[in-house]
Amino acid sequence: MDIRFSPHNSHHDDPERFAQSDPHLRRLNTQPLVYRSSLLDIFPIENPGIYTLGGGRQVGKTTLMKQWMAHLLHLRVIPDHIAYITGELIDDHHSLVRLVDDILQSISGNTIGYLIVDEVTYISDWDKGIKYLADAGRLENIVLFLTGSDLLIIKEARMRLPGRRGNSGVVDFHLYPLNFFETVSLKGCFTSDELKELVKAETEPGVSALNVLFEEFEHYLQHGGFLTALNDLARHGSILPATMATYSDWIRGDVLKRGKQEHFLREILQGMLKRYGSQVTWNALCQDLSIDHPKTVADYIDVLESMDAVFVQKALIEDKLVGAPKKARKLIFTDPFIFHAVRAWLTQTNDPFHDQVQVLQEDPECTSRLVESVVVSHYRQYFPTYYIKGAGEVDVAYVDQQRFWPVEVKWTGQLRPKDLKQIAKYHNGRILTKSMQTGSILGLPTSPLPLCLLRLGTQLRPENR
């Protein structure tokens, strides 16, 4: 194997010490909170094929791949039959083919081999190289994982590698930041038995359990589902400025890599924050910017969405269960930590956690908008997710079982019927509230918001079903 990749393949020399010698696993094991993704339980073991793993920057894709390698070693897979290379060091598809051919020499006979090409989108014309290898029969006994921080990798693999993916039912995986349930589980706020009781729909939680949930949700609004931010808070009691800067630097770097302009990116992100949680059209957003053409705004938003940094929430066409192409959209960051990291870049301060993150939580209006975006982000991991615009507005309408389910978010101390006119039109509506008690208003059930998100997080994501 090329010596450049040796640090990531130390299991070839000493598989028993892989967890100590690998740079990612070694760093992982020094953290206060070490997470094991449920994806590890559904990743392929005996089904050769071409698989993809998409997800945003800094969400933990490389570490997850290293954990999978350790899992394969635990299952007694021959160490030389497992290999990791990164696209950051591979120029083009010709180099990729030569590297993979070299690696495959060590995999004998009909034994299954495991190859990870991390950040494959860095490689020019990567799909041509993979297609050639597949067509040449070189991947017949290989479980090949391609990862990328650009979610277009999944779309491109579907389009450019038809009939070459293998026979597994699921070949594309998406790694999200931790949801609220996963975060609460990781932090050990409850015993496993207590958590099982909490997530039962028929269980009415006690006051002490709800107090913990609400407190943890306040923390979730600070660190979101990013493990670096979570571990900063566990270790230091705050999110370090360097952690914030690392993420914002990745956003800027990836946008610039796609030939975009930093000053336009800054303006668009500022426009997003100004109108956060509100409906917006590209034309309206242009009015606040020096950008003349709505298409330019749309192009930048497309890039941010492909990076899994932004989610574009469309209005629902109720009778067709699809998004309305011409109606205004809502633009939200896919995690609270991304929201805070972007704000820290746009308005710089020596201590963004204390000067911005904690200060924002003292502002009821700003917090309410952030809470709504967290709810949207959670539902979109499991279902097609929209909002409803009628005489009034409904914050979330998710599609399941060939119908839509309206959800209203009210993170205020008091519910007023006049603010619920639109949701009241739907008999299957639901209202998520800041109250610690379940109840009803206008004939619709109300639920404590953190409890609802906790229970939502136990659902199976599409790739797990």
CATH number at residue 28: 3.40.50.300
Q: Identify the pLDDT of residue 22.
A: 97
What burial class does residue 348 get, using C-beta atoms within 10 Å of its C-beta: 0-12 exposed, 13-18 middle, 19+ buried?
Answer: middle
Same domain, 256 and 132: no
Same domain, 73 and 97: yes
Query: What integer is the mean pLDDT of 75-80?
Result: 95
**Per-residue pLDDT at 108 exceeds 80:** no
Same domain, 203 and 135: no
What burial class does residue 191 get, using C-beta atoms within 10 Å of its C-beta: 0-12 exposed, 13-18 middle, 19+ buried?
Answer: exposed
Question: Nearest to residue 119, comparing CAs of 51, 61, 38?
Answer: 61
In which domain, by residue range, is 337 found? 180-464
Same domain, 432 and 285: yes
Same domain, 169 and 194: no
The last residue of a domain, from among 115, 141, 174: 174
Same domain, 166 and 212: no
Q: How many residues does the chain have?
A: 465
**Per-residue pLDDT at 158 exceeds 80:** no
The last residue of a domain, from among 128, 154, 174: 174
Any idea which of 215-219, 321-325, 459-463 has the lowest mean pLDDT? 459-463
Cα–Cα dist 250/260, whole Å: 14
Query: What integer is the mean pLDDT of 143-152?
Result: 90
- Are 166 and 50 in contact by the 8 Å Cβ rule? The answer is yes
pLDDT band of 149, cuts 50, 70, 90: confident
Give CA angle at 299 (275, 254), nearest 5°.
Answer: 95
DSSP β-ladder status, 316-317 and 172-174: unpaired
pLDDT digits (tens, 9 = 90+) for 181-194: 999 999 999 999 99
Tokens matching residue 375: 């709810």
**Per-residue pLDDT at 365 exceeds 90:** yes
Percentage, residues of the chain above pLDDT 70: 99
Q: Identify the pLDDT of residue 126.
A: 93
Same domain, 16 and 141: yes
pLDDT band of 152, cuts 50, 70, 90: confident
Q: Which residue has the higher pLDDT, 205 or 413?
A: 205
**Element at 356 (helix H, strand E):** none
Query: What integer is the mean pLDDT of 236-254?
Result: 94
The runs of H, that is alpha helices, within 5-55 are: 18-21, 23-28
**Per-residue pLDDT at 345 exceeds 80:** yes
The last residue of a domain, from among 157, 174, 191: 174
Report DSSP state, residue 266: H
pLDDT digits (tens, 9 = 90+) for 255-275: 998 899 999 999 999 999 999
Q: Identify the pLDDT of residue 464.
A: 63
Could you tell me the CA-to-CA distances from 60 to 121, 226, 227, 302, 430 in Å, in that order? 17, 8, 8, 22, 33
- Are 163 and 454 in contact by the 8 Å Cβ rule? The answer is no
249 Cβ contact list (under 8 Å, min separation 6): none
Same domain, 235 and 88: no
Same domain, 188 and 166: no
pLDDT digits (tens, 9 = 90+) for 311-341: 999 999 999 999 999 899 999 999 999 999 9
* DSSP characters over 403-421: EEEEEEEE-SS---GGGGT
Same domain, 78 and 211: no
Any idea which of 40-44, 152-156, 422-426 has the lowest mean pLDDT? 152-156
Same domain, 200 and 168: no
Q: Identify the pLDDT of residue 292.
A: 83
pLDDT band of 113, cuts 50, 70, 90: very high
- Are 424 and 414 in contact by the 8 Å Cβ rule? The answer is no
> HEC profile for 197-265?
HHCCCCCCCCHHHHHHHHHHHHHHHHHCCCHHHHHHHHHHCCCCHHHHHHHHHHHHHHHHHCCCCHHHH
Same domain, 19 and 101: yes
pLDDT band of 465, cuts 50, 70, 90: low
* Number of independent structural domains in the chain: 2
Q: What 3-state class would DSSP assign to 388?
A: strand
Question: Nearest to residue 182, comparing CAs of 125, 131, 223, 242?
Answer: 223
Average pLDDT, the chain: 93
* DSSP characters over 111-174: --EEEEEETGGGSBTHHHHHHHHHHTTTTTTEEEEEEESSTHHHHHHHHHSTT-SBS-S--EEE
pLDDT band of 393, cuts 50, 70, 90: very high
